Chain A
Amino acid sequence: MSIISVNSLSFRYSYSDRYILKDISFSIGEKEFVLLAGASGCGKTTLARALVGLIPQFYEGEYSGEVRILGMNPATTPISKITAQVGFLFQNPENQIFMTTVERDIAFSLEFRGFSREEMKERVAWAMEIMGISHLALKRIEELSGGEKQKVALAGILALKPKILILDEPTAYLSPMSARELMGMLKRLNRELGITILLIDHRLDLAVEAAQRILVMKEGKLYIDLPIKEAFRQNLSKEYGVNVPTLIKILDVIRRQGFSLDPPPLTIEEFINLIKKGRTI
C-alpha cells in the first residue's frame, strides 16, 4: 500500500517564470527506502516541500496535480498535523534550530504533542544517544560546529519517531565516519522499525547501500524510478549529473572498454565477487 502518492504534480513558484516541477508522478509504499537524486537545481527540495505541505501553503505559486501522504492532502492539511507524523529535515539545518541548548532544542520538537515529561526525557536521551551527541546536551546551539548542528537537527526529528522520514541532504556536513553511522542507523530504522524513508543526497557512496530504489530528476521532470541496481546499468552521471559512487565510476570505465559486469556492484564485496566469477557476459 502506498503511503506517499504523487499524481501529475506541477509547480511554479510565484514570481518565477518557469515550472520547477513538471508533471511528476510516483508512489512510495510502506517501509520503502527511496533515494531521490539529480543535478543541483533540478527540483528535489521543491518536491520535498510539496510532500509536507510547505508547497503550496508556505511557498505560493501555480500548483496542479494531487499529492497524498499518509492519506492527508498536504495542500490543505495543517502543516503541523503532517509533520507530527512526517519528520522533515531541511537542507539547511540552521533553519531548523531555534532553541537555546541542544537538549531543549530537541525537546522542543516534542512539545505540544502531548507526551508526558518522562516520555519526552526518554525520547530526547534516545535521540541524542543514537546521534552520538549526548556530551553536547547542555551546549548552546550557536556554540556548535557545523556537523554538530546537523546532528542536533537530525536528533530533533528522530525523537518524534515519525512514520515517514524525509531527509534533505542529512550527510552534507557530517564526517565520513558519522555519515556512515547515520546511514547504518537509517537502514536499521527502516528495516527494523519499518520507518519509510525518502532520502535526498549527493553523496551516493553510502546511500546506495541503504536505499532500495532510486528516483532521478532532471530539470523538474522525473526520469528514472528503478531499483537501485537496475538504475546503475545506465550512465547516471553523464545523463543526469548524478554524482555516482566511485565503484560505479570504475565500472563505467570498464564498460567503456567493452566489458560488462552485471548487475552493477554497490559494495566492494559485490564488486570482488563479480570479478572472481569473471562474469564477462
Chain B
Amino acid sequence: MIVVENLYFTYAPQGDYVLKNINLEIGEGELIAIMGDNGAGKTTLVKHFNGLLKPTLGRVYVDDVDTRDVPISELSRKVGMIFQYPEKMFFSERVWDEVAFALRNFGYDEASINRLVQKILNIFWLWKYRDSSPFILSGGEQRRLAIASVLVWNPKYVVMDEPTAGQDAVQREILLQIINMMVSQGKTVILVTHDVEFVAEIRPRVILMSNGEVVYDGEATRLFRNPGILESAGLTQPILFKLESRLRDQGLIEGGFNTIDEAAKKIISLLGDERL
C-alpha cells in the first residue's frame, strides 16, 4: 500500500507549494489514473512514490516504509516508474540491453533474462529491433521500449507517466490488456494521463488534481458525468459521455449508456429497422 499523509512539496526552498495537503491511500491491485491540467502537479506527485522526490512536509509510505528512510535504489525495485519523456532514460546501445539492464542489476540468471526480455519485446512488437539502437526508434516505439524495460521485472507498483501518448489503435489495445492483466495479478497500476478516452475505456479510480491539490478522488464514471469539475481541472468530457448528455438534452434518449456498444445499441433503436 502507498500512503500519502499531509504531503506538501516545493521545488525551491522559499518557493510556492507545488503539492498542497495531499492525502491518499493506494491499495494493492488498484488501477488508478491521475489526471489534471498541465502543471497541476501530477508528475511531481508520482515522483514521491519511488522516493525520487521527498516530501517538504508530510509523509509518503510505501508498504509502511517512510520514503525518506530508504535509498531510491531500494524503492525503485518495488515501484517501477516510466517517465513522461522516455527517450531521456535510454543509455544502452542496443534495445536488448536496455531491457535486460534492470534484470542484470537485480542478479537474474542469463536464462531467465533471455526468456523475460524476449517475451516482453514480443508483447510490444519490438523484437525486430532487439539489435538496434534505442535512439533510432520512432516516437511510439521508444515509449513502448521504456514501458517494456520496466514491466520486464514485474514490479509490485507500476507508475506510467502518459503511457498512451503517441500510441496507435493496436498498441493502445495491447496496453489496455497488459494493464488489466497486471491488475488481475494484484499489481498496483498508476497511470498519469491526459487521455480521457483511454480512461473512459478502463474506468479506473481517478485522482484529479488542480493547482497542486486533489479535487476529486473516486469513480471515473461519476466524474465523467460531471463536466463542471472536469473543466475546472483542465479536462473535457469523453466523447461517449458528451454524446450521452447531448442526446438526453435533445429528448432523444432516456437513461444513458456506459460503453461504445451500449451507445451503438441505443442509437440503433432510434433509427428504426431500415437495414441495408
Chain A residues with a Cβ under 8 A of chain B? 13, 16, 38-41, 45, 91-92, 94, 143-148, 151, 168-169, 172-180, 202-203, 205, 237, 241-247, 249-250, 253-254, 257-261, 268, 271-272, 275-276, 278, 280-281
Contact = CB atoms under 8 A, between A and B. Distances in A.
A27 B168 CA distance: 25
Contacts of A92: 85, 87, 139
Contacts of A178: 37-38, 234
A176 B43 contact: no
Interface in B143-193: 144, 161-162, 165-172
Nearest to A256: B264
A176 B194 contact: yes
Nearest to B246: A268
For the complex of A and B, list the 3 residue pairs with the smallest distance between their C-beta atoms, beginning with the closest.
A147-B38, A40-B140, A253-B264
A268 B267 contact: no
A96 to B, nearest CB: 12
B252 A275 contact: yes
A13 B246 contact: no
B170 to A, nearest CB: 5
- Counting chain B residues whose Cβ lies within 8 A of the other chain, the interface size class is 35 or more
A260 B140 CA distance: 34
Contacts of B264: 250, 253-254, 257
Contacts of A268: 239, 242-243, 246
B111 interface: no
A41 B138 contact: yes
B57 interface: no
Contacts of B170: 39, 241
Contacts of B166: 40, 91, 169, 172, 202
A259 B261 CA distance: 14
A246 B238 contact: yes
Nearest to B250: A272
B33 to A, nearest CB: 13
B194 A250 contact: no
A205 to B, nearest CB: 6
B115 interface: no
Given A13-B136, A38-B168, A272-B247, 6 more contacts: A39-B171, A145-B43, A176-B235, A205-B197, A254-B268, A257-B268
Given A202-B168, A243-B172, A175 B84 contact: no
Contacts of A278: 270-272, 274
A173 B234 contact: no
B140 to A, nearest CB: 3
Interface in B2-45: 11, 36-39, 43
B84 A146 contact: yes
Contacts of A202: 140, 165-168
